[in-house]
Amino acid sequence: MTLNKIDENIYEVPQVYRPDMRVPGRIFVSETLLPMIEPGTIDQVANVATLSGIVKYSMAMPDAHLGYGFPIGGVAAFREDGGIISPGGVGFDINCGVRLLRSNLSYETVQPLISTLIDSLFNAVPSGVGATGRLHVTDQQLTEAFLEGAKWAVDQGYGVKDDLVRCEEFGSMKGADPSQVSIKARKRGRPQLGTLGSGNHFLEIQRVDEIFDEHVAKRFGLSKGQITVMIHCGSRGAGHQICTDHLEVLSRAVHKYCIDIPDKQLACAPIGTPEADHYFGAMVCAANYAWANRHIIAHWTREVFERYFSGAKLDLIYDVAHNVAKIEKHDVDGVIEKLYVHRKGATRSFGPSRSEVPEIYREVGQPVLIPGSMGTPSYVLCGTDKALGLTFGSACHGAGRVMSRSQALKTFTGQDIRAELSRIGIKVKATHPSMLAEEAPQVYKPSDEVVNVVHNLRIATKVARLIPLGVSKG
Amino acid sequence: MKPFEYLEHTADVKFRAYGRTPEEMLSNAAVALFGTMTDLSKVQTKETWKAELNAPDLEQLAYDWLSEIVFLFETESAVFSTFDVKLTRNEDWKLEAQIGGERTDPSRHTFDNEVKAVTLHEFEVKKNDKNDVWCLQAVLDV
């Protein structure tokens, strides 16, 4: 079945794609990227469109690819009355997200020490499969981290209070309910606070390579040649277990509430039911854990830079979540409605009219951080008011995979990828070199193409491009 | 009958595990899950872990079993290679398993993937009526 082209970069999955769709699907993608959208991804967009209370469209961002339940890059909003909440629309890695720090250092100052810096960061920030953190966190402290997120980290001496305004939800989302976090999730999460994880998570030293919007760049504190640091990680085992635990509860809830779902991963419950409330309360705990996690990692990053460069400052630009469900007010055909917006591999992209954007950025809009993969550029964009009408204020979260991990392992070796990156001046340090093959630049869509779609649609506008100089990975 | 096979999936790991009995299927599924992370031939059976689970149906039990392996892997800092599964069925299903492995040794155990969780996406346990072979299909979030 062909998709209907609605406008430049907007394609519709018609409701006839499957008979139980309540709304159409909307895939935001260019003609060039469209062939890279697998049929399974379109099926997943259509599946989400069958869920009760969905508002306007089931959406997919330009980096969309096959996920489980929702596609990765999926966005869907549900009204309170008759709507559902689903962990399938958030993911296991709750609040997997990105933090960007800007330094007062230039490329010329930092470049000679890149290898040393990456080695030090690799040692300072535990990463890799099964890594445990440097912190000894008590059960009570874990509860506080669930409740207060980055604010708890600041109270413990990590980072500064001024960081908190430069964080989505101020690093501390309301509505956490630690009583809904299982002992298993606590057991997984407690030793992992302050760890990077593995897979596509990373800590990267970058250089601002190009400025696309001087005015906004100045507001964000970015300038050409400046050194930045990007941190990409999430809620670790705590989030993974919270999602697993509540998926089980919600799998029973679909029978209790007589909900038909086309995919078991779309297990859900009606908003306002105990099952839905319990999941949301636990999800917020995981989201806050992730903000505390990125906050601690940023603190250690600052310590490493201060060790090598006297007077070095790493200021937080912003921190965004790309796997989370939020309660937001949106204008739906002229009526302000309270919606439960699920962003699964998608980033909030709010413009100047939204009070959620920190005052320091309210003139222009929030920073939208799009990480590349190793060897490919990352981008800083600016949220817009136009995004509200098109995507409930959402944009892409990365480049999106085009090659499976198994295919990548057959095609590349970790050694080759590291050598290739070294040839173009990128130093990589990884706990698991074999994983470098799975994260090779070639397994992702071209990030500039993905970002250009977002820019051309004006759901977020390009501000700066950052290129990697050194990467620390699990 | 092959014990399991990996199928293509863009971002995650998908497999089908087989068994002449449900116990064999569950054991092979655990090997498939763990085998996607690390080379099981490098895992010695120095210690044994026990798992005991209950569930109203076999599919739920299978999901809980695989999730339990992920949980133990992380919280015990251990790698596993042998899974001896025993099932009993009264009003609900009961699984008792002896899991053989050792504590993770970074000098010997390297990882190609980290399984974050078992998804419910296309999760299925069924018996093939033609050849009586049990099959478990799962997609893992890595």
**pLDDT for A328-358, tens place per residue?**
999 999 999 999 999 999 999 999 999 999 9
Question: In the structure, what pLDDT confidence band is assigned to residue B10 with cuts at 50, 70 and 90?
Answer: low
Number of CB pairs < 8 Å for A and B? 110
Residue of B nearest to A432 (CA): B111
Do the beta carbons of residue A294 and residue A231 sit within 8 Å? yes
CA distance A250 to A367: 34
> Measured between CA atoms, how close is B85 to chain A, in angstroms?
22
pLDDT score of B3: 97
Q: Is the sign of the CA dihedral B102, B103, B106, B107 positive or negative?
A: negative
- A397 as an active site residue: the answer is yes
pTM, two decimal places: 0.96
CB of A137 within 8 Å of any CB in chain B?
no
- What's CA B55's distance to the chain center, in Å? 16
Residues of chain A with Cβ-Cβ distance to B110 below 8 Å are 432, 434
Which of B8, B113, B116 lies closest to A240 in CB terms?
A: B116
CA distance A374 to B20: 44
Q: Has residue A219 got a pLDDT over 90? A: yes
pLDDT score of A465: 97
DSSP reduced 3-state for B51: strand
pLDDT score of B79: 96
Do the beta carbons of residue A262 and residue A138 sit within 8 Å? no
CA distance A18 to A316: 45
Helices (H) and strands (E) in chain B, counts: 2, 8
Question: In the structure, what pLDDT confidence band is assigned to residue A198 with cuts at 50, 70 and 90?
Answer: confident
CB of B75 within 8 Å of any CB in chain A?
yes
Residues of chain A with Cβ-Cβ distance to B118 below 8 Å are 244
For A47: left if phi > 0, alpha if psi spans -120 to 50, otherwise beta; the answer is alpha
Which of A91, A265, A401 lies closest to B10 in CB terms?
A: A401
Q: Has residue A402 got a pLDDT over 80? A: no
Are B120 and A251 in contact (CB < 8 Å)?
yes
Alpha helices in A63-138 (DSSP H): 107-110, 114-124
> Measured between CA atoms, how close is B118 to chain A, in angstroms?
8
Dihedral angle of Cα A100, A103, A106, A110, to the nearest 10 degrees: -80
**Which burial class, exposed, middle or buried, applies to B102 when counting CB atoms under 10 A from its CB (0-12, 13-18, 19+)?**
middle
Which of A67, A187, A243 lies closest to B75 in CB terms?
A: A187
**Which burial class, exposed, middle or buried, applies to A111 when counting CB atoms under 10 A from its CB (0-12, 13-18, 19+)?**
middle
Are B141 and A405 in contact (CB < 8 Å)?
no
State the average pLDDT for chain A: 94
Percentage of residues in chain A having pLDDT higher than 90: 84
> Measured between CA atoms, how close is B104 to chain A, in angstroms?
9
How confident is the model over B67-119, as pLDDT tens digits? Answer: 999 999 999 999 999 999 999 999 999 999 999 999 999 899 999 888 999 99
DSSP symbol at A154: H
Q: Which residues of A347-367 are buried (b: 16+ CB within 10 A; e: fewer)?
A: bbbbbeebebbbeebbebbbb
Which of B75, B114, B119 lies closest to A198 in CB terms?
A: B114
CB of A439 within 8 Å of any CB in chain B?
no
pLDDT score of A130: 74
Taken as a whole, chain B contains a residue count of 142
CB of B103 within 8 Å of any CB in chain A?
no
- If we measure between CA atoms, which residue out of A403, A68, A37 comes closest to residue B8? A403
Average pLDDT rounded to a whole number, residues A239-267: 96
Q: Which residues of A374-393 are buried (b: 16+ CB within 10 A; e: fewer)?
A: bbbbbbbbbbbebbbebbbb
Residues of chain A with Cβ-Cβ distance to B60 below 8 Å are 248, 251
- If we measure between CA atoms, which residue out of A185, A148, A194 comes closest to residue A167? A148
pLDDT score of A157: 95
CB of B49 within 8 Å of any CB in chain A?
no
DSSP reduced 3-state for A196: coil
Are A432 and B111 in contact (CB < 8 Å)?
yes
Write down the residue that tokens 């899974």 correspond to.
Answer: B83
Residues of chain B with Cβ-Cβ distance to A409 below 8 Å are 112
pLDDT score of A352: 98
> Measured between CA atoms, how close is B139 to chain A, in angstroms?
8
How confident is the model over B35-55, as pLDDT tens digits? Answer: 999 999 999 999 999 999 999
> Measured between CA atoms, how close is B141 to chain A, in angstroms?
8
Question: Which residues face A324 on adjacent strands?
Answer: A343
How confident is the model over A404-459, as pLDDT tens digits? Answer: 777 777 788 888 888 888 888 888 888 887 777 777 777 777 788 999 999 999 99
CA distance A343 to A75: 5
